[in-house]
Amino acid sequence: DVKVTQSSRYLVKRTGEKVFLECVQDMDHENMFWYRQDPGLGLRLIYFSYDVKMKEKGDIPEGYSVSREKKERFSLILESASTNQTSMYLCASRERDRGLGYTFGSGTRLTVV
Amino acid sequence: GNSVTQMEGPVTLSEEAFLTINCTYTATGYPSLFWYVQYPGEGLQLLLKATKADDKGSNKGFEATYRKETTSFHLEKGSVQVSDSAVYFCALNTGGFKTIFGAGTRLFVKA
């Protein structure tokens, strides 16, 4: 069964910490995405990557960066965590054909205290 | 710009009732349309999709038909089960990297 795996289901971090969220896919997909999901705001795109070492800003990139050194792995980095980054973070991947839809990971619920 | 509008929830139904969740869209060109489902504490799963007008996507008893004349992609199921309780998201992609998601509709099914 094809899979997108996020390294942690739940994380609690302190304000100011540097936080790494990891995502690995085993489907050889070119495209990978990071979203955050908040009540009343839906899914918002943070960053995406269309190839190794390639990245593009989404709608809310401020306070985040990403890294894609290998095709299967896409990391989201919170440079200095703040309480307003408490959220559910969802990683997704997709083949190059945009008509095929995303495969999502199970999500990481991050709490910044 | 491109957008997706879903009916507001929550929708509460009894088991075996008929389900409709409305979805309309605004988009240039010919988007691909999707329904995703999110069970409690989980990520989203692709439920069904349609890539051109009059296509019908179907999966697990759910169906949706791509209606270009009404710019709609309503989700239907003939007989819901308690296990269908989840949040349902309508989404579109116009060929770029970004997919536009609706706000989601929460469904509760009572036994």
* Ramachandran assignment for B31, one of left (phi > 0), alpha (psi -120 to 50 degrees), beta (any other): beta
Instruction: Choose the closest CB to B46 out of A6, A42, A102.
Output: A102
Averaged over A31-39, what is the pLDDT?
Answer: 94
Return the pLDDT at A46.
97
Contact between residue A44 and residue A59 where contact means Cβ atoms under 8 Å apart: yes
- A64 touches B at CB < 8 Å: no
Residues near A30 by Cβ (< 8 Å), separated by ≥ 6?
A50, A51, A71, A94, A95, A96
pLDDT digits (tens, 9 = 90+) for B70-101: 999 999 999 999 999 999 999 999 888 889 99
- A63 touches B at CB < 8 Å: no
Best CA proximity match to A90, nearest among A31, A45, A59: A45
pLDDT digits (tens, 9 = 90+) for B26-69: 998 889 999 999 998 889 999 999 999 999 999 999 999 999 99
Do B101 and A31 lie within an 8 Å CB cutoff?
Answer: no
Nearest CA-CA distance, residue A16 and chain B, Å: 27
Contact between residue B99 and residue B34 where contact means Cβ atoms under 8 Å apart: yes
Nearest CA-CA distance, residue B92 and chain A, Å: 9
Return the pLDDT at A1.
65
Do B34 and A103 lie within an 8 Å CB cutoff?
Answer: no
Averaged over A23-47, what is the pLDDT?
Answer: 93
Return the pLDDT at A2.
66
Nearest CA-CA distance, residue B82 and chain A, Å: 21
Do A43 and B43 lie within an 8 Å CB cutoff?
Answer: no
Supply the DSSP symbol for B72. B
- Interface size between A and B, measured as CB pairs under 8 A: 52
Separation CA B88–CA A4 (nearest Å): 20
- B70 touches A at CB < 8 Å: no
Do A90 and B95 lie within an 8 Å CB cutoff?
Answer: no
